[in-house]
Amino acid sequence: MADVSASEFWTDLYARGGDGWELRQPAPPLVDFVERTPPPRGRVAVPGCGRGHDVRYLAGRGYAACGFDFSPTAVAQARSLAKVEGVAAEFVQQDIFTLGRDFGRAFDGVWEYQCFCAIDPRRRIEYVRTMAAIIKPGGWLLACFFPMRRRAAGPPFPVSAGEVRRLFGPHFRVERAYEPRSVRARQGQEWMVLLRRTNG
């Protein structure tokens, strides 16, 4: 398997145009959710934020949004886009698995999109524990999981509803779950879930 835990793997993809995940716009499932049922304003983390379209969108909607990515290319481009658009969004170059150390209970919420499927599937428990560590008690984790179908090889690594419930269950309660409006290429392969941080 490619070493997806190394930032160089991702930086190389950015360098040679292998960023097939790029939407050049905020993710439709996030936009629909925030327009219809906005979570209370507060500090929001976006792990594996890439070029930061979702971070800038959240900042524009009044959230104190902070994007994390360990690829210097992604962070540089995210900062540059925010500057051009005059959006006050923060971007930090950091491996998300180290966030618990520096951002314990620092966030009211997390927006997850296309990061969970990018990490080594063997590290998913570590991902969940990290998110549980950085979210305040009672805080929220809004996630759009993808791809919900098997593929030849990852990344993106597939995920199932059962795995999400099993991994997040010890620290989060599922409050809502539904199939969102997706970009055409991802239709029928995404699952939107609102999770609430419990005492676990």
Ligand X SMILES: C[S@@+](CC[C@H](N)C(=O)[O-])C[C@H]1O[C@@H](n2cnc3c(N)ncnc32)[C@H](O)[C@@H]1O
Task: Determine how many CB atoms are found less than 10 A away from the CB of residue 135.
Answer: 27
- Residues between 65 and 104 that touch ligand X (CB under 6 A): 68-71, 74, 95-97
Judged by beta carbon, residue 74 or residue 82, the one nearer ligand X is 74
CA 194 from centroid of its chain's CA atoms: 13
CA–CA gap between residue 146 and residue 47 (Å, rounded): 15
Residue 162 C-alpha from the chain's centroid: 19
In the structure encoding, which two tokens stand for residue 90, read together? 């923060």
In this structure, how many other beta carbons lie within 10 angstroms of the beta carbon of residue 178? 11
Q: Does 118 bind ligand X (CB under 6 A)?
A: yes
> Does 64 participate in binding ligand X (rule CB under 6 A)?
no
Closest separation in Å from C-beta 136 to ligand X: 21
Q: Is 130 in the site for ligand X (CB under 6 A)?
A: no
Indicate the residue type of 76: A
In this complex, which beta carbon is closest to ligand X, that of residue 148 or of residue 198? 148
- Contact 134/103 with Cβ under 8 angstroms? yes
Q: x/- site string to ligand X, residues 43 to 62, per CB under 6 A?
A: -----xxx------------
Q: How many CA atoms lie within 13 A of 14 on its CB side?
A: 17
**Residue 193 in contact with ligand X, rule: CB under 6 A:** no
Among 114, 124, 134, 157, binds ligand X (CB under 6 A): 114
- Applying CB under 6 A, which residues contact ligand X? 10, 21-22, 48-50, 68-71, 74, 95-97, 113-115, 118-119
